[in-house]
Amino acid sequence: MSRTAAIIGGGVIGAGWAARFLMNGWNVRVFDPSPDAARNIGEVLDNARRSLPGLSDVALPDEGTLSFSATISEAVANADWIQESVPERLATKQQAYCEIQATCPKGAVLASSTSGFKPSELQTSAARPGQIIVCHPFNPVYLLPLVEVVGGPNAEAAIVARAQDILVDLGMKPLLVRNEIDAHIADRLLEAVWREALWLVHDGVATTEEIDDAIRFGFGIRWAQMGLFETYRLAGGETGMAHFIRQFGPALAWPWSKLTDVPDLTDDLVKTIADQSDAQSGMHSIRALERIRDTNLVTVMRGLKGQNWGAGAVLNAHDMRLRSAEVETDFSQLILTLDRTVPLDWTDFNGHMNEARYLEASSKATDRFMELVGCDATYIANGGSYFTAETHIRHLNEAHAGDRLRVKTLLLNGTGKKLHVFNLIYAGDALAATVEQMLLHVSLETRKTSEPSEVIVQTLARIQKAHDNLPRPEGIARTVGQRP
């Protein structure tokens, strides 16, 4: 059954929330009186459609329905989740809650995107204070997984728990903040770096670009996959964090930072920062810069995904949840062994999917076929597997980033030690490539060919019987240069 999210405020953050919900199959209603709301959300949604599906190695749910409401009451009626993203003014938010709670279901999650206010401040004068919590995301909301969840002393435990469960289902990482505090956790850390950066520009020590270079070419890369404390633990060597603190702790007393002070944001300082920032990246429009950012984020997070680390581990867990919703495989037809989107980092200088990625897609599809017939992780751990002996690829059509990629597998021969499959790779409705593979069953102990288990033999025989009656696709047994 479809679920509904109401987005109150369609700015950068609200639009990001709308995209995150929509791309995970939720219906979304938006209330925003701005005449530019539909355009803004449409542009953010275009960016999300381009980038988010490529983070998953399985297909996302069918996109939900987006609609715009004329009133808050209309938007929140029967909503399961209400995300408030109105301007960061306490009175404005409190007024919004009065209107929201007059109509919304009592069990709905009512979450604020606020980056600074505490839940107890937001809950003041509310009809149902315990329903209001903070769910503070990071831009772009449709890509970055972190959400700071703050309930405060008055929050209903059931609302907080439900919010965390839903966020996990959206492929996000809820971080429960133990005690409410101004600006939560992440923004307090960011504020410390921001204050120091302002002083470095103010004192002429560094330009905006030089400061960004210090982050993106240095500690920012470390932080992206290991955070602060784990990074410093490594810096302590074999004796760990205790040694690091003993060695570098005295530096905390030195005048290395000005965290308790902020330079006056005079017109001259603001102009200096703005001019340097324009020189640094002003050659790109904001939308172009967003796409550059999204491409970089997808590439970094997919790299972490391969290591099942940090944000990548969150993505892998989300893929597992998506796979668990797949329908039972029908062995009587061509078997759907891969259903995903072409990610941004699979394309090359020609603007289409790189030739090596066709082999990767086929390899993933064959791996899935092996799992379906019984050669799964447990079977491999017990010493049996299939090794590829020969592969032939035919490139028939282009595939581009964002295309829905499906692979259907035909079993040509599954007798004895042989596993001969023919994978048809579709980009949308077009046949983009075929990959014919011959694999041999091996013993991982001897690294020589061996007979597969009886379960695999019987499963392959059942599939073989059905697939022998299917039409033969063009291209089977082709060789390079051979005309059809």
> Which pLDDT score is estimated for 383?
96
**Res 226 pLDDT > 90:** no
Instruction: Assess contact for 364 and 338: CB atoms under 8 A.
Output: yes
Q: Return the top range by mean pLDDT from 31-35, 252-256, 276-280, 286-290.
A: 31-35
**Res 463 pLDDT > 70:** yes
Same domain, 177 and 205: no
* Residue 470 banded pLDDT, cuts 50, 70, 90: very high
Same domain, 16 and 155: yes
Same domain, 68 and 112: yes
Placement of tokens 């204070």 in the chain: 129
Record the tokens describing residue 65, joined without a space: 């329905």
Q: Is 288 a domain residue?
A: no
What single string gives the DSSP state of each residue in 71-104? Answer: SHHHHHTT-SEEEE---S-HHHHHHHHHHHHTTS
Q: Is 425 a domain residue?
A: yes
> Which pLDDT score is estimated for 257?
77
* Mean confidence (pLDDT) of the chain: 93
Give the CATH number of the domain where residue 431 resides: 3.10.129.10
> Which pLDDT score is estimated for 484?
61
Last residue of a domain, one of 183, 207, 226: 183
Same domain, 148 and 215: no
Same domain, 142 and 8: yes
**Res 121 pLDDT > 80:** yes
Lowest pLDDT segment from 69-73, 239-243, 286-290: 239-243
Overall domain count for the chain: 3
**Res 408 pLDDT > 90:** yes
* Residue 27 banded pLDDT, cuts 50, 70, 90: very high
* Residue 47 banded pLDDT, cuts 50, 70, 90: very high
Measure the CA–CA gap between 269 and 254, rounded to whole angstroms.
26
* Residue 348 banded pLDDT, cuts 50, 70, 90: confident
Same domain, 160 and 78: yes
Measure the CA–CA gap between 349 and 188, rounded to whole angstroms.
41
Which structural domain, as residue segments, surrounds residue 229?
187-283
Measure the CA–CA gap between 325 and 348, rounded to whole angstroms.
32
Is pLDDT larger for residue 420 or for residue 326? Answer: 420
Phi-psi region of 125 (alpha: psi -120 to 50; beta: other; left: phi over 0): left
> Which pLDDT score is estimated for 212?
94
Per-residue pLDDT, averaged over 358-373, amounts to: 96
Across 46-56, b (16+ Cβ under 10 Å) vs e yields ebbbbbbbbbb
Same domain, 336 and 263: no
**Res 266 pLDDT > 80:** yes
Instruction: Assess contact for 149 and 135: CB atoms under 8 A.
Output: yes
The SS3 call for residue 363 is helix
Same domain, 360 and 401: yes
Measure the CA–CA gap between 438 and 373, rounded to whole angstroms.
16
**Res 174 pLDDT > 80:** yes
> Which pLDDT score is estimated for 193?
93
**Res 55 pLDDT > 90:** yes
**Res 351 pLDDT > 70:** yes
Q: Is 296 a domain residue?
A: no
Measure the CA–CA gap between 151 and 163, rounded to whole angstroms.
10
Per-residue pLDDT, averaged over 88-94, amounts to: 95
**Torsion, Cα of 152, 96, 145, 322 (10° steps):** 110
Q: Is 1 exposed, middle or buried (0-12, 13-18, 19+ CB in 10 A)?
A: exposed
Q: Is 132 a domain residue?
A: yes
DSSP one-letter code for 465: H
Measure the CA–CA gap between 295 and 351, rounded to whole angstroms.
14
Instruction: Assess contact for 358 and 393: CB atoms under 8 A.
Output: yes
Phi-psi region of 69 (alpha: psi -120 to 50; beta: other; left: phi over 0): beta
The SS3 call for residue 162 is helix
Planar angle of CA 137, 140, 143, nearest 5 degrees: 90
**Res 18 pLDDT > 70:** yes
> Which pLDDT score is estimated for 1?
65
Is pLDDT larger for residue 281 or for residue 119? Answer: 119
**Res 82 pLDDT > 70:** yes
Q: Is 40 a domain residue?
A: yes
**Res 156 pLDDT > 80:** yes
Same domain, 28 and 128: yes
**Res 301 pLDDT > 90:** yes
Lowest pLDDT segment from 168-182, 258-272, 385-399: 258-272
Residue 363: Cβ within 10 Å count: 16
DSSP one-letter code for 420: E
Q: Is 300 a domain residue?
A: no
> Which pLDDT score is estimated for 284?
85
Task: Report phi then psi at 390, rounded to 5.
Answer: -160, 145
Instruction: Assess contact for 390 and 437: CB atoms under 8 A.
Output: yes
Same domain, 45 and 174: yes
**Res 238 pLDDT > 90:** no
Task: Report phi then psi at 27, rounded to 5.
Answer: -80, 145
Instruction: Assess contact for 347 and 408: CB atoms under 8 A.
Output: no
Q: Is 267 exposed, middle or buried (0-12, 13-18, 19+ CB in 10 A)?
A: exposed
**Res 482 pLDDT > 80:** no
Give the CATH number of the domain where residue 225 resides: 1.10.1040.10
> Which pLDDT score is estimated for 433?
97
* Residue 472 banded pLDDT, cuts 50, 70, 90: very high
> Which pLDDT score is estimated for 432?
97
Last residue of a domain, one of 183, 217, 236: 183
Residue 111: Cβ within 10 Å count: 28
Q: Is 320 a domain residue?
A: no
Record the tokens describing residue 215, joined without a space: 């982050």
Q: Is 415 a domain residue?
A: yes
* Residue 405 banded pLDDT, cuts 50, 70, 90: very high
